[in-house]
Chains A and B, each alone.
Chain A
Amino acid sequence: MNHSYDSKLLFAAFLGALLLVPCALAAMDSDYCLMCHGDADMVNAELLIVPTTFDTTAHAVLGCVVCHDTIGDDHPSGVSELSRATCLDCHDTLGQEYLMTDHANYAICGDCHNPHEARAMKAMAGYDMNDKCIRCHDSQTMVDVHKVWLPQADLHIAKLPCITCHTGSEGYEIVLNIVVRQDDRFFSRFELPEYQILKEISGDAGILSLIDTNGDNFIALTELRRFNRNPAYRNLRLEGTLVPSDVSHDLKTLDNRYDCTFCHISGPKSLQTSFLAIPNRDGGYQRVTVEQGAVLDALYGTPDFYMVGTTRSASMNILGLLIISAGLVMPIGHGLLRFLTRKNRQH
């Protein structure tokens, strides 16, 4: 992880910030601020911060005052315009990386991130990362821009996080999501559900128990099969997407993404690592490891994840080879006998 360096810095910044803030104020924890800012009756909509969301973000440990350190006892009636820490104070590595890009001229940290809702990439479902981008680059325009060179552009834009192609990473992994049929009609679409919907389906045992039946916090192939075949879950399916393993903010167009075999190729480096993203109550996600190679299982691995060239199944290949070989029986067998008996036909 390239964040270990970051974390040390963060810790220093965190301590530093605490020392700078007068003790009385440090005691004012988030709960105090959220008494007003978490209540729609107390503050207006722009100043509202959803407590259940904030409490589960990576920033909750900091507390409000670390970032708004000019706050005084007279708040809110005192001087307005409190200070706001800048992201770069603490996220130096990632921040500097971003500032070097052309894109820094088009968007700042706050255009993509809300500090009160910041989540790690691993706490996201996958496609929801594009909510950030789509604010400025709407989907239809993106399909049009990409289809000039990208086959099946609509499918790629609908299924892939933009940063899978527009930032570099050592590796890539598959994230599976449970999707739910929108209404009970046969052909209706499956969408990423709210936590509450899955919670109702799974009951007290928890959402993970839908698939992880033995409760070992690991998804085995047999558990995937059982889930996919279970008639009780016919309105649930698994969909997959491809995400970078590490976060980079070097946002740009990578030349090797023109080459489809960057992704559409199998082999040792290919995508056999997958995770299941389970929604949490707060809107974030938790990742659970899935058995290696699950997506290669022909029929029951993951019904709605198939990448040509990459996730082809070996058993299907063998079956195909057998069929093709059967086509050679006639020419070879018959041809041989034909050759041996050729004299019989010389009249």
Chain B
Amino acid sequence: MAENTKIYLQPTPVRIWHWLNAFGIVTLTVSGAQIRFPEYISLLGSYKSAIYLHNTAGFVVAISFTLWFFYYVFIARSMANLYVPKVEDLKTGLLRQAKFYFLTYFLGWENPHHPTPRNKFNPMQKSAYLAIMFVLMPLVSLTGIFMTNVEPLRGVIVMMGGMKILMSVHFLLACCLIAFLPTHVYLTTLGHTPMEHIKTMWTGWEENGNDVPDHKENGTVPSH
């Protein structure tokens, strides 16, 4: 890297959302495990406290999800731009990024994608985050809301196939979110230093920021 420029990559609302969310998901995972396997897991004391904690964490995650959503859609107005892959991303970008992760990274080449506030994610991140934030998170939250209001919503639950379907969907989607976690945390350590991206998510500032002007950005930057 030629210069040690800094860019402001992660605005405050996004950081608040992110860490509330991360903490919430970890809490949900642990308490959820105890709720499903009470005879093996009793980390959180009584079953009842696991349930109350799970419900509270679910509430916090749902609220912070709303914060994230409103911030990107109405304040930053960059949701579609950041999260929805462009045609080009799908045609060439995905392949190029996959080639980097699974081949050229090991050879020591530079990441073909350089994050800027307007184009934060590489094509693989876009697709993954899109699936997580627009499919998994809303569905898990929704099924969770149904399960905490079974009596009042009984009719709708029956329409969806009954408690068992609801439970199975909630459980399997939650497993997908849990599976995302190690992959996600691991990938964030692929910066120039392992803690680089994680620091960014904490402070907002990306060190070793992109030294190429914004207009040339779009994934066409050659690696050196």
Contact of A189 among B38, B150, B155 (CB under 8 A): B155
Min distance, Cβ A133 to any Cβ of chain B, angstroms: 18
Known: A326-B179, A327-B181, A331-B182. Contact between A308 and B35, CB under 8 A? yes
Whether A323 and B164, one on each chain, are in contact in the complex, defined by CB atoms closer than 8 angstroms, is no
What are the interface flags for A273-313 relative to B under an 8 Å C-beta threshold, 1 for contact and 0 otherwise?
A: 00000000000000000000000001101111110110011
Whether B186 and A334, one on each chain, are in contact in the complex, defined by CB atoms closer than 8 angstroms, is yes
Q: Is A213 an interface residue (CB 8 A)?
A: no
Min distance, Cβ A180 to any Cβ of chain B, angstroms: 12
Residues of A within 8 A of B43 (CB): none
Residues of B within 8 A of A259 (CB): 46-47
Q: How far is the CA of A188 from the CA of B193 in the complex (A)?
A: 58
Contact of A151 among B52, B106, B161 (CB under 8 A): B52
Whether B158 and A260, one on each chain, are in contact in the complex, defined by CB atoms closer than 8 angstroms, is no
Q: Is B176 an interface residue (CB 8 A)?
A: yes
Whether A189 and B154, one on each chain, are in contact in the complex, defined by CB atoms closer than 8 angstroms, is yes
Whether A334 and B179, one on each chain, are in contact in the complex, defined by CB atoms closer than 8 angstroms, is no
Q: Is A154 an interface residue (CB 8 A)?
A: yes
Residue in A closest to B161 when the chains form the complex, CB atoms: A303
Q: How far is the CA of A337 from the CA of B108 in the complex (A)?
A: 12
Whether B159 and A187, one on each chain, are in contact in the complex, defined by CB atoms closer than 8 angstroms, is yes
CB-based A-B contact count at 8 angstroms: 127
Residues of A within 8 A of B190 (CB): 338
Whether A301 and B164, one on each chain, are in contact in the complex, defined by CB atoms closer than 8 angstroms, is yes
What are the interface flags for A312-333 relative to B under an 8 Å C-beta threshold, 1 for contact and 0 otherwise?
A: 1100100111011111111100
Known: A306-B164, A316-B168. Contact between A264 and B151, CB under 8 A? no
Residues of B within 8 A of A347 (CB): 108
Residue in B closest to A347 when the chains form the complex, CB atoms: B108
Q: Is A14 an interface residue (CB 8 A)?
A: no
Q: Is A186 an interface residue (CB 8 A)?
A: yes
Residues of A within 8 A of B152 (CB): 154
What are the interface flags for B163-195 relative to A under an 8 Å C-beta threshold, 1 for contact and 0 otherwise?
A: 111011001100110111111011100100000
Contact of A327 among B47, B52, B165, B183 (CB under 8 A): B183
List B37-57 residues whose CB lies under 8 Å from chain A: 37-39, 46-48, 51-52, 55
Whether A154 and B151, one on each chain, are in contact in the complex, defined by CB atoms closer than 8 angstroms, is yes
Residue in B closest to A185 when the chains form the complex, CB atoms: B155
Known: A299-B168, A341-B107. Contact between A155 and B151, CB under 8 A? yes
Q: Is B148 an interface residue (CB 8 A)?
A: yes
Whether B178 and A327, one on each chain, are in contact in the complex, defined by CB atoms closer than 8 angstroms, is yes
Whether B47 and A264, one on each chain, are in contact in the complex, defined by CB atoms closer than 8 angstroms, is yes
User: Which residues in A have some Cβ–Cβ distance to B below 8 Å?
Assistant: 149, 151-152, 154-155, 158, 186-190, 237, 259-261, 264-267, 298-299, 301-306, 308-309, 312-313, 316, 319-321, 323-331, 334-335, 337-338, 341, 344-347
Closest 5 pairs between A and B when the two form their complex, measured CB to CB: A327-B179, A303-B162, A344-B108, A187-B155, A331-B186
Q: List 29 A-B residue pairs with CB atoms under 8 Å apart, sorted by A's residue number.
A: A151-B48, A151-B51, A152-B151, A261-B38, A261-B47, A298-B168, A301-B164, A303-B162, A303-B165, A304-B158, A306-B167, A316-B172, A319-B172, A320-B172, A321-B175, A323-B176, A324-B178, A325-B179, A327-B178, A327-B180, A327-B182, A328-B179, A330-B187, A331-B182, A334-B102, A334-B186, A335-B186, A338-B105, A338-B106
User: Which residues in B have some Cβ–Cβ distance to A below 8 Å?
Assistant: 35-39, 46-48, 51-52, 55, 101-102, 105-108, 148, 150-152, 154-156, 158-159, 161-165, 167-168, 171-172, 175-176, 178-183, 185-187, 190
